[in-house]
Amino acid sequence: MVESIPLETAKEVADAAEQRAEEIDNPMVITVANSEGNLIINRRMDGAWLASVDISRNKAYTSAALDMPTEDLAEPTKPGESLYGLQNTNDNNMVIFGGGYPLMENGDVVGAIGVSGGAVEQDMDVASSGVDRFDEL
Amino acid sequence: MVESIPLETAKEVADAAEQRAEEIDNPMVITVANSEGNLIINRRMDGAWLASVDISRNKAYTSAALDMPTEDLAEPTKPGESLYGLQNTNDNNMVIFGGGYPLMENGDVVGAIGVSGGAVEQDMDVASSGVDRFDEL
Amino acid sequence: MVESIPLETAKEVADAAEQRAEEIDNPMVITVANSEGNLIINRRMDGAWLASVDISRNKAYTSAALDMPTEDLAEPTKPGESLYGLQNTNDNNMVIFGGGYPLMENGDVVGAIGVSGGAVEQDMDVASSGVDRFDEL
Amino acid sequence: MVESIPLETAKEVADAAEQRAEEIDNPMVITVANSEGNLIINRRMDGAWLASVDISRNKAYTSAALDMPTEDLAEPTKPGESLYGLQNTNDNNMVIFGGGYPLMENGDVVGAIGVSGGAVEQDMDVASSGVDRFDEL
């Protein structure tokens, strides 16, 4: 079954991520997608990189499409590893570095968050704030 | 000079459109873009059509890219009219029916709003609420 | 044989078109391509539509790719006419309204000019100024 | 706020790059884009590689989209490094080797230059001449 999360919940998740981005003083693009990788909400903070609009959206897509954090794809997509080439599938919409996380409810993936705009660790930090908020709701 | 609008302003514009969509009881996808057609905010209301994610985004793109409401493109792009074929340009990102409007400041286009999810008249109604809110700010 | 025109010549052609655009007070995007439809020069005048970057380039491409003015494609690509559907070929890079012209030398197409930014008649007017300049050189 | 630079300024920047390309006797494709990565000017010098039309444009896009020189992307996008896979984002329009630079005004990115046509060091040399000219204006 296709699961999703309500827009109001997605807004709260995005708000939490946006607040964390402000705390670390790094403008981000934040996307929340449903379990089929399609958009629920997308925000580009003032001054965030243009490139991050695509990357944020596709981190959410990738996490929803594979039910896993995007950081888990960095190793297995290296040349010689088992999933080398995955990054060229799905019309090149796969992102294989950190900043995308599934949103889970009772063990099911019901959506995903993708954040881009800083160093990968910062993207992961900000996206995690969104995940934490979702888990509290 | 290329212009844009702050995320906080874009949120208020999207809020006004979302409120109008609720009043007419028709879930919509709402996009606000900057003057170069790139995303600032994008929201899919619960139950809104999947197709409207693309259409909403591209209505905003089209309005920003041509400095005009998308409804103005319906007539001139008909077979036999002067802009027939415009709908196939710009990587098929042109939308030639109503629901996209430029956001103007001191006579300059500084962004655009695109709404999709209902009949074209409903899309235009909801998008106009966003424009009205922008003009008040 | 693939024919082309030197960059210096293309600049003079673009200058003539730009000057005409200023005379009619309508900012344009101007492209000169070689006989294979590939770019020699491309300029976006201040305030010209974003959509015109793609359209100008593809008017030049279309004229070079078919050895004819783009205005000649409007009629035959209408539903029911012989070339209906041509606008969807070549990765949708075909433009079927006026503003693209081949540049001819001794009866051979050696390049093309594409102009976009106003009403079709204005685009044709400005592009023609470029063709006229080329023919004088 | 989204920033841009006037066409006349972009021409002077391109002129400086073109002059440097002539000095080192290596024909180049030169692009100047605005801060949202969209084209202002694009020139292919006589004899410059066809491949460089795309590469020059996308070096400018990449620099504008990430606010950084493209040469800074070579290391972090290697297999095993933090941004491995970035090269497949943004519809494959990312270029991860040198020759693209942001154009800065009062600490803000207002545009970008991308140069392609020689060895990477030559591309960087020629692009830098454009940056230097911009900084003098």
* Chain D contact partners (≥3 CB pairs within 8 A): A, B, C
Listing DSSP states for A73-114 in one string gives GTTTTSTTSTTTTGGGSGGGT---SSSEEEEEETTEEEEEEE
pLDDT at res. D1 = 44
Domains of chain C, by residue range, sit at 20-65+80-110+128-137
Element (H, E) at B98: none
D19/C contact by beta carbon, under 8 A: no
Encode pLDDT of D41-73 as tens digits. Answer: 999 999 999 999 999 999 999 999 999 999 999
Encode pLDDT of B110-121 as tens digits. Answer: 999 999 999 999
Quick one: how far is CA D41 from the chain centroid? 11
Asked whether the beta carbons of residue A42 and residue B38 sit closer than 8 angstroms, the reply is no
* Chain B contact partners (≥3 CB pairs within 8 A): A, C, D
Chain B residue numbers touching A39 (CB-CB < 8 A): 42, 44, 53
| CA distance, residue D111 to nearest chain C CA (Å) | 14
Which residue shows structure tokens 């021409």?
D11
Question: Is residue B70 within 8 Å of B99, Cβ to Cβ?
Answer: yes
Counting as low any pLDDT under 70, the low residues of chain A are 1-3
Classified as helix, coil or strand, A41 is strand
Does residue C4 have a pLDDT over 50?
yes
Angle at which helix C7-23 crosses helix C120-136, to 10 degrees, equals 140
Confidence of residue B3 (pLDDT cuts 50, 70, 90): low
Q: What is the dotted CATH code of the domain comprising D7-136?
A: 3.30.450.150
Confidence of residue B53 (pLDDT cuts 50, 70, 90): very high
Distance in angstroms (rounded) separating the CA atoms of residues D27 and C2: 19
One-letter amino acid identity for C15? D
Residue of D nearest to C37 (CA): D50
- pTM, whole model, 2 decimals? 0.96
- Mutation site, D32, D35, D36, D110, interface B, largest B CB count within 10 A: D36
Q: What is the dotted CATH code of the domain comprising B7-102?
A: 3.30.450.150
Average pLDDT taken over every residue of chain C: 96
Q: Which CATH superfamily is domain A7-116 in?
A: Haem-degrading domain (3.30.450.150)
Chain C residue numbers touching B67 (CB-CB < 8 A): 49
Q: Which CATH superfamily is domain C20-65+80-110+128-137 in?
A: Haem-degrading domain (3.30.450.150)
Confidence of residue D119 (pLDDT cuts 50, 70, 90): very high
pLDDT at res. D4 = 77
Q: What is the ipTM, given to two decimal places?
A: 0.94
Q: What is the mean pLDDT of residues D4-29?
A: 97
